[in-house]
Amino acid sequence: MKSEIQQSWAGKKSGGVVSLRLAWGQAIARAVDSGIDDSLVEGLLESFAAPASLLKLVDCVVAEEAIDPSRLASAVQSRAGESSFSEADWLVALERLLQFLIRENRSATISVALGYLSCSAEYLESSGSTLTFADGVDAFLAEFGFDG
C-alpha cells in the first residue's frame, strides 16, 4: 500500500483528476519501490510533466546495475555540477530525453542517458547557444537521434 506522502504527491500532481492521480500514484510507487531516493522522487515530480516519464526513468535505472537507484540523485547532481546548467534544468532535459525514448519505443540505461545529456550540455555551453538545455536536447534528438 502506498504511503500517505506518496498519495499526497500523486494528488498534487494530478490536480484532482482521478485518472491522473492513479497514473501518478503508480509511477511514484514504482519509483520508490525501485529504490530511488524519496527526495529525488519529490524533485522529479516538480520537474516532470508526465507520469510516463517517471516510469521510463525507472526502466532506465533498473536496466543498469552500475548506478544504484538510491545514488541516482548524486549522479544527476554530479553531472549538473560539471555544467553551467542547474539540477532543475537537468531534470527537465532528462524528461525531454525520456519522452523521446517513449515516442520512439526505445530504451537506454541511465548512464547512457546522462552521457547524452552531458554531451548536449557541453556543446550548448561551448557554442554559446541561446537555447535552454531542454530545447537543446530536443534539437540534438531531432538532428542526430539517439544511439543508446
Q: What is the pLDDT of residues 45-88, one digit of tens each?
A: 999 999 999 999 999 998 887 777 878 889 999 999 999 999 99
Q: Distance (Å, rounded) from C-alpha 92 to C-alpha 30?
A: 20
Q: Which domain holds residue 14?
A: 4-144
Average pLDDT, the chain: 92
Q: Long-range contacts for 126-135 (Cβ within 8 Å, ≥24 apart)?
A: 132/89, 132/92, 133/85, 133/89, 133/90, 133/92, 133/93, 134/89, 134/92, 134/93, 134/95, 134/96
pLDDT at 2: 61
Average pLDDT, integer, range 98-110? 96
Q: Is the pLDDT of residue 99 over 50?
A: yes
Percent of the chain with pLDDT over 90: 75
pLDDT at 65: 76
Q: What is the pLDDT of residues 113-124, one digit of tens each?
A: 999 999 999 999
- Structurally, the chain folds into a number of domains equal to 1
Q: Is the pLDDT of residue 106 over 90?
A: yes
pLDDT at 23: 96
Alpha carbon of residue 36 to chain centroid: 12
Instruction: Assign 1 a pLDDT band (cuts: 50, 70, 90).
Output: very low
Instruction: Assign 4 a pLDDT band (cuts: 50, 70, 90).
Output: confident
